Structure 1
Amino acid sequence: MNSLYDNTEKEINKSKKIIADSKRGFVTLTGLIGGLLLKDAPVSQEEKNQLRLPYWRAVLKTFSLEIVRKNNILFLLFVAVSINGIAWQVTFPYLLIYIEHFLGYDKGTLGLIMGGVLIITALSTIPLGILVDRIPRRTFILWMAFAAAVTALVFSFAREIPFLLLSGVLQTVAMAAFGIVSGAWLKDLYPTQQRGQFQGVRMVFWVLLPMVIGPAIGSFLIRSYGIPTLLNGEAGFISTPVIYYAAAAINLLALLPLLRIPKQIRLAEVDV
């Protein structure tokens, strides 16, 4: 069984490399350009005179009960973002293997499906951004969390290319919309004097926890419910729709912290 799992991990790493290589050049280029164009704001005398805690003490204080209670809405949103990200990471690392080995499509068809989904999703971000500004954020994000669950379930039943393309687009659009509205909302909720610090905290909930917990859940499900097979002459597992069932269920859990956020928040700049 260990050898089966090891070979599946190799296939997963190959799939990740395809995605990573396509992004690396673009990310590097935009990062270099952005770094050259950005300029730090001048530091005021008040900031220079401000007493600062040692680094690790400041980090630990950020997660203290006092800070969490004072910013309970912010941390409820952090939790929802993390759950949503975990659901996505349950399936995403194994997506290419699922389409190629479970659904049986060759790499050329796989590229067409993935390319179509990514292009349509990218084009949808502008109208999504407009909707975010027009619909109350709490309402919008609740619907997107629910849509993410439904579309993950729908994708698990997709077999033919048109259905795969449609369900894939709906799933990624729902996830993108969730990310857009949550990102905008989080920035409005950051404490005024600690915006940079809480941008770092956001990465814990947005990136670290989802990328550790999500793939671990997906890996466990594949080892437990995957189809034993031979991949490149070695024993391995093929992922099955069960990972999408799990993703749908996890996405529904994101509704719990969101429902605890009141409809009205005493912040003039936040329209909820």
Structure 2
Amino acid sequence: MSKNVSRNTLGFWSLVWLLGLAGQLCWNMENQWFNTFVYAKIAKDPTIISWMLAISATATTISTFLFGCVSDRKGNRKSLVAIGYILWGVFTILFGTTQFLKHKSGDEAALIGVAFAVIAADAIMSFFGSMGNDIGFNAWINDHMNEKNSGSLGAALAVQPVIGTIAGTVLGGFLVGSDDNYMRLFVVIGLLVIALGLISLFGMKDSVSLRPSKKGSFANQFISIFNLKEYLQHRELVFVNLMLAVYFISFNVYFSHLGNFMIYYLGFTAEMMGLIEGVGLLLAMFTTIPAIKLIRDDRSSLLILVAILLNSVGLFIIGLFVSPSNVNPSTIWNPHLLAGVLFVGIGYILFLQTITVWSKRLYPEDARGQFEGIRIIFYVLIPMVVAPLISNPIIKTSGEFVDEYGFTEYLPTNTLFLAGVFILLMTLIPLVLANREHINAAE
């Protein structure tokens, strides 16, 4: 009996880490390398990246609501994970083929056509990625979460994006290489995700407590999630989700352009960029260990406050003290940049670890899949639509350069990080409100 329990526990945690890390590698590639891919292969124009963010976020949100409803009604997460991951990997590889669509410099009509293909391919990939990861995998995690493992699962879900960022930037930098071979990167990551989809097809088991939850017809149940009056009754969750939205608006203002900032503005290679980010984030990752106990002790508000302040310090360091004149692109030893990345990394990890557990504890038991869809509105849709409206004009205003051939390029500059600080500090408002609701609910 104990051997079976031990084997089942090992299998569960193996899938938590394998599926989680594979998904995060793929998301990291989309959030970081897709943007440098655009600058390297299409055009140095942030407008394409802005449209990619907005359209892929919309596709992600549609996917989460659609498959969240399907998942709850069927009482099945496994199928979504397996099918979603397989198709996610396939369309990741197909995205890379857009680089073979040629356009001549200065031919605006041809550039628009290529940009449209890139944006569409990214949206399709995001649709299936959300099906497999955002809904299938996250709802499966939520089904298995309890008081004993919530801190550990929260730590795992917070650390995985960091490991994904570290591995994705370092591995991605080496795979892309000095010859800008992005296709090599997309094929390797795509095949990895496909393999994990196949493994989940045969090795994953849904929670024994998971039951189909049908509330009338599919259309009625799907529409019910948009019942604003009912959603607003979950007051604590409303403010937690608002925190999520404000924080990730700030995050997407600067992080979506971080790779291009380091490569094209500061002058680092892709490999060196990955190493610098990797070192800072690797050190930051160790903060998840003491955070587990604080989350168990119901100190989530304090952790998020600390996360916001440390994140702000990191952005101030990069925004004020990092420039092409005081970095050495040939070495990893750039103290100001490393310190900035470290503080941003600590803030990001603590925030994500804490708010993931906080929000999941508040989901209605019979609608976890659909409430993951609501979470995506605040985690993905709102930030990725709003952030480009802020970052794009900043880059166009502060980062306009004319290259040696007379063509205009737009490069991310330090201004993005200072804008990110201002928005980040606004997260304190919903934090105070969420904490007040949490205290009232406990009394």
Structure 1-normalised TM-score? 0.79
Contact 2:399 2:412 in 1 (8 A): yes
CA–CA distance in structure 2, aligned partners of residues 25 and 108 of structure 1: 22
Residue equivalent to 1:83: 246
Residue equivalent to 1:96: 259
Residue equivalent to 1:40: 206
Tell me whether 63-72 or 245-254 shows the greater mean CA deviation.
Answer: 63-72
Contact 2:314 2:339 in 1 (8 A): no
Q: Does 1:145 align with 2:308?
A: yes
Residue equivalent to 1:252: 425
Tell me whether 212-221 or 87-96 shows the greater mean CA deviation.
Answer: 212-221
Tell me whether 150-159 or 30-39 shows the greater mean CA deviation.
Answer: 30-39
Q: Secondary structure at the match of 2:44?
A: helix
Q: How many residues are aligned here? A: 261
Contact 1:158 1:167 in 2 (8 A): no
Q: Does 1:7 align with 2:44?
A: yes
Q: Does 1:213 align with 2:379?
A: no
Structure 2-normalised TM-score? 0.51
Summarize the Cα distance change of 1:119–1:251 in structure 2 as closer, same or farther, 3 Å threshold: same
Q: Does 1:111 align with 2:284?
A: no
Q: Secondary structure at the match of 2:45?
A: helix
CA–CA distance in structure 1, aligned partners of residues 407 and 252 of structure 2: 26
Q: Does 1:73 align with 2:236?
A: yes
Q: Quick one: percent identity of the two aligned structures?
A: 24
Summarize the Cα distance change of 1:241–1:33 in structure 2 as closer, same or farther, 3 Å threshold: same
Summarize the Cα distance change of 1:140–1:115 in structure 2 as closer, same or farther, 3 Å threshold: closer
How much does 1:179 deviate?
A: 0.7
Q: Does 1:264 align with 2:442?
A: no
Summarize the Cα distance change of 1:97–1:143 in structure 2 as closer, same or farther, 3 Å threshold: same
Contact 1:89 1:211 in 2 (8 A): yes
How much does 1:267 deviate?
A: 5.2
CA–CA distance in structure 2, aligned partners of residues 58 and 207 of structure 1: 23
Cα RMSD for the two superposed structures: 3.5
Residue equivalent to 1:241: 414
Summarize the Cα distance change of 1:253–1:212 in structure 2 as closer, same or farther, 3 Å threshold: same
Contact 2:260 2:412 in 1 (8 A): yes
1:84-116 Cα distance to aligned partner (Å, 9 max, x none)? 111111111211121123223344432321222
Structure 2: gaps (5+ residues):
1-41, 53-98, 100-168, 174-184, 328-333
CA–CA distance in structure 2, aligned partners of residues 54 and 211 of structure 1: 32
CA–CA distance in structure 1, aligned partners of residues 339 and 263 of structure 2: 18
Contact 2:400 2:408 in 1 (8 A): no
